[in-house]
Amino acid sequence: MGYKAVDRFSVDSADVPAAEREQTDMHRFFYENKGPIVHKWRHYLDVYDRHLSRYRNSPFRLLEIGVSRGGSLSLWRRYFGPRATIFGIDIDPRCARFGGRDGEVRIGSQADADFLEGVVKEMGGIDVVIDDGSHVARHQYASFRSLFHLLSSDGVYICEDLCTSYWRGRFEGGYRRQSTFIEVAKRLVDDMHADFHRHGENVPGASRSIGGLHFYKGIVVIEKAPQPLPTHVEVGVADL
C-alpha cells in the first residue's frame, strides 16, 4: 500500500471471517503470510484473483511498482508459481535486500522513463503492471505513459490506492482534479469510444488497444486487447 492507512479503515487480520480468508487461493496465501509484511485493502484480493488468475503457473512477466516491506513479492510468487518472471521497483535503496528470493528488485524512480524502459528490457517485456508506488498523481501518470505502450497486447495494467486521487497535498489529489489518475482513467472511457466521437484520444491508439476498463473502490484495471473497427450484424428472417 505504501502509506499509513487512515485508522478508521483498519481492521485486525484476526477479525476477518474465516470464509473470507479462504475465499480464493489469493485470499488464503495473503492471510497465511508468515514472511515480510504485505499490506492491502481487503477487497483488492478478489480483484487480483478475478483479473490475474489466468496467469497462474505460466511464464508471464509481472512488474510491481513499489516494493515497500517486501511482502507482496512473496505473495505474487506463491500465487503465480515458479514460472513467472517477477520484478519490483522502488526508489528506496533499502528495498534492494528483498531481491533474489521471490523476485528481482531494481532501485529507481517510477517517474523515470529511461529507468522503466531499462527494467522492461531486462525482463524481456511485461504482461502485467501493478502500480503500488508513491501514489502521487504525476508519478502514476508518468509510469502509465511509459509502460502502457510496452505492455503486451493482451496485458493488464493495474493502478491501485486511487483513494489518494481525492487527497490534496502530498498526493496531488483533489475531487475531479484533472491531473489525478482517477481522472486519467475516466478519460480512457472516452478514448475507447473514439470511433463514435470527433474529440480524438487522450492516449493515442487506446480505441484499438483497450479491451476493457474495470473500476473498483480505489483501484482500476485496464485490460489490453486488440480492437478492430466495431461492426454490427443482423441475423434472422425478415418480415415474419
Note the pLDDT of residue 107: 98
Does residue 72 come out as left (phi exceeding 0), alpha (psi in the -120 to 50 range) or beta?
alpha
pLDDT at 4 over 60: no
Mean pLDDT of 200-219: 95
- For the domain 8-224, what is the CATH superfamily, name and number? Vaccinia Virus protein VP39 (3.40.50.150)
Mean pLDDT of 131-152: 97
pLDDT at 239 over 90: no
- pLDDT tens digits along 17-33: 899 899 999 999 999 99
Is there a contact between 174 and 90 (Cβ–Cβ < 8 Å)? no
pLDDT at 233 over 90: yes
Q: How far apart, in Å, do the first and last CA atoms of the chain sit?
A: 60
Mean pLDDT of 206-219: 96
Rounded Cα distance, 226 and 153, in Å = 7
Rounded to two decimals, the pTM is: 0.93
Note the pLDDT of residue 5: 52
Q: What percent of the chain has pLDDT over 70?
A: 98
Q: What percent of the chain has pLDDT over 90?
A: 87
- pLDDT tens digits along 95-138: 999 999 899 999 999 999 999 999 999 999 999 999 999 999 99
Residues annotated as part of the active site: 135
pLDDT confidence tier of residue 10, bands split at 50, 70 and 90: confident
Note the pLDDT of residue 6: 63
Mean pLDDT of 180-199: 96
pLDDT at 2 over 70: no
| DSSP assignment string, 34-54 | -SS-----TTHHHHHHHHHGG
Rounded Cα distance, 150 and 135, in Å = 21
Note the pLDDT of residue 3: 53
Rounded Cα distance, 72 and 189, in Å = 30
pLDDT at 161 over 90: yes
Is there a contact between 202 and 187 (Cβ–Cβ < 8 Å)? yes
Bridge partners for 223 per DSSP: 156, 212
Q: How far is CA 210 from CA 36, 48, 86, 214, 218, in A?
A: 35, 19, 24, 11, 20
Q: How far is CA 166 from CA 7, 87, 202, in A?
A: 17, 29, 21
pLDDT, the chain, mean = 94
